[in-house]
Amino acid sequence: MNRKTIPPFPAGPRGGNVILVTGSSGLIGSALATFLETRNFTVRRLDLRGTGDGFGDVRDRKKLAEAVTGASGVVHLAAVSRVITGEQNPALCRETNIGGVENLLDGVLRQPSAARPWVVFASSREIYGQQEKLPVSEDATPAPANVYAQTKVDGERLVSAAGLRTAIVRFSNVYGSSIDHADRVVPAFCRAAVTGKELRVDGAENTFDFTHIDDVIRGIGAVVAQFVTGVTTLPPVHFVSGVPTTLGELAAAAIRIAREFTGTNVNTGAAIRNAPPRAYDVARFYGNPARAKTLLGWKAEVSLETGLRRLITDFHEQENILNEHENGNANAAAGDLRKKGGAA
Tens of pLDDT, residues 148-164: 999 999 999 999 999 99
Residue 133 shares a structural domain with residue 192: no
Q: What is the pTM of this model?
A: 0.88
Residue 118 shares a structural domain with residue 196: no
Asked if pLDDT for residue 278 goes beyond 60, the answer is: yes
Asked if pLDDT for residue 334 goes beyond 50, the answer is: no
What pLDDT is stored for residue 261 in this prediction?
75
Q: How confident is the model at residue 15 (pLDDT cuts 50, 70, 90)?
A: very low
What pLDDT is stored for residue 182 in this prediction?
84
180-to-59, 187, 206 alpha-carbon distances in Å: 23, 7, 22
What pLDDT is stored for residue 287 in this prediction?
98
Residue 134 shares a structural domain with residue 250: no
| pLDDT (average), residues 288-306 | 98
Residue 159 shares a structural domain with residue 238: yes
Instruction: Confirm whether 344 is domain-assigned.
Output: no
Pairwise pLDDT comparison (249 vs 280), residue with the higher score: 249
Residue 296 shares a structural domain with residue 308: no
Residue 49 shares a structural domain with residue 63: yes
- Residue 50 contacts residue 63 (beta carbons within 8 Å): no
Residue 155 shares a structural domain with residue 214: yes
Give the per-residue SS3 of the chain: CCCCCCCCCCCCCCCCCEEEEECCCCHHHHHHHHHHHCCCCEEEEEECCCCHHHECCCCCHHHHHHHHCCCCEEEECCCCCCHHHHHHCHHHHHHHHCHHHHHHHHHHHCCCHHHCCEEEEEEEHHHHCCCCCCCECCCCCCCCCCHHHHHHHHHHHHHHCCCCCEEEEEECCEECCCCCCCCCHHHHHHHHHHHCCEEEEECCCCEECCEEHHHHHHHHHHHHHHHHCCCCCCCCEEECCCCCEEHHHHHHHHHHHHHHHCCCCCCCCCEEEEECCCCCCCCECCECCHHHHHHHCCCCCCCHHHHHHHHHHHHHHHHHHHHHHHHHHHHHHHHHHHHHHHHC
The pLDDT tens digits of the residues spanning 167-193 come to 999 999 999 998 888 889 999 999 999
Percent of the chain with pLDDT over 70: 86
Q: How confident is the model at residue 301 (pLDDT cuts 50, 70, 90)?
A: very high
Upstream peptide bond of 135 is cis (omega within 30 degrees of 0): yes
Residue 139 shares a structural domain with residue 264: no
Asked if pLDDT for residue 120 goes beyond 70, the answer is: yes
Q: What is the CATH number of the domain that holds 100?
A: 3.40.50.720
Asked if pLDDT for residue 6 goes beyond 50, the answer is: no
Residue 198 shares a structural domain with residue 216: no
Instruction: Confirm whether 340 is domain-assigned.
Output: no
Specify the number of domains making up the chain. Answer: 2
Asked if pLDDT for residue 68 goes beyond 50, the answer is: yes
Q: What is the CATH number of the domain that holds 195?
A: 3.90.25.10
What pLDDT is stored for residue 183 in this prediction?
87
Range of the domain at 214: 12-173+210-242+284-300
Give the C-alpha separation, 178 to 71, whole Å.
Answer: 31
The pLDDT tens digits of the residues spanning 217-265 come to 999 999 999 999 999 889 999 999 999 999 999 999 999 999 987 664 4
The pLDDT tens digits of the residues spanning 265-276 come to 445 678 999 999
Give the C-alpha separation, 123 to 121, whole Å.
Answer: 6
| pLDDT (average), residues 137-152 | 98
Residue 183 shares a structural domain with residue 224: no
Asked if pLDDT for residue 333 goes beyond 70, the answer is: no
- Residue 282 contacts residue 130 (beta carbons within 8 Å): yes
Instruction: Confirm whether 55 is domain-assigned.
Output: yes
Asked if pLDDT for residue 26 goes beyond 60, the answer is: yes
Asked if pLDDT for residue 84 goes beyond 50, the answer is: yes
Pairwise pLDDT comparison (325 vs 216), residue with the higher score: 216
Instruction: Confirm whether 47 is domain-assigned.
Output: yes
Residue 314 shares a structural domain with residue 238: no
Asked if pLDDT for residue 282 goes beyond 50, the answer is: yes
What pLDDT is stored for residue 330 in this prediction?
45
Instruction: Confirm whether 67 is domain-assigned.
Output: yes
Instruction: Confirm whether 337 is domain-assigned.
Output: no
Residue 118 shares a structural domain with residue 214: yes
